[in-house]
Amino acid sequence: MTADPVPSEPVRVPMSTALLATRVVAILRAGDSARAEAVVDVLVDGGIRCIELTMTTPGALDVVERLAARVADVVDLGVGTVLTAAEVDRAVDAGACFVVSPSVVPAVIGAAARHGIASYPGALTPTEIHGAWSLGASAVKLFPAGSFGPGYLAALRAPLPHIPIVPTGGIGAGEAAAWLDAGAAALGMGGPLIGDAMTATGDLGALAERVRAVCAAVAGAGR
């Protein structure tokens, strides 16, 4: 009887050192991208070093391309809501060094690996998380994390301690420490961090305050 072949390890691009160090991905999602670069400047000035612009934001790839020419040496730029391999190609052409998906899409994970960039697929259950990791995810985005809480992450981490998990969805500065203490590798932070800053009349000063609060909370948690 022939033995079953031993499955080979997937090609896996690791999480970036910037994300491992700062442990926050700032997520920009809006109906208009006109304010995106001003928002990114506030995020970078406050210490955020990993920024995701979602494909659902009109003009997101154009913004990534402009930012890549200006701040890519100090910031990891990524594209979110990536659902196809073709979108991975477009993100890479724009200058992205990671892609994020709301679900587990094998073609996206594979395309990211071929380009040598990190991939963060979204998953919720142990089966989905393990499946994403087995396909070569750099880490797994726990989504929608805010609906379940840090206790759910701690429960997942017990049988899956080797898989880095990035909770995303509804997480603000007040919850950051609890998620990191529960074992999060990093946090994806959108609306609670960005607030109204992407709108034409949004308060960039208030955004700067939230960035300071988030970075302070993360600095003292989960090490």
Reference 178, options 162, 164, 167; nearest CA is 167
Grouping H, G, I as helix, E, B as strand and the rest as coil, residue 147 is helix
Looking at the chain, which runs of residues are DSSP E strands? 24-28, 50-54, 76-80, 98-100, 118-120, 122-123, 140-142, 165-167, 187-189
Catalytic residue among 9, 37, 52, 87: 52
Q: Are 97 and 117 spatial neighbours (Cβ–Cβ below 8 Å)?
A: yes
| 37 labelled catalytic | no
> Exposed/middle/buried for 47, CB within 10 Å: 0-12, 13-18, 19+?
middle
Strands in 187-189's sheet, in edge-to-edge order, are 118-120, 98-100, 76-80, 50-54, 24-28, 187-189
Catalytic residue among 128, 141, 175, 209: 141
| 65 labelled catalytic | no
Q: Which residues are designated catalytic?
A: 52, 141
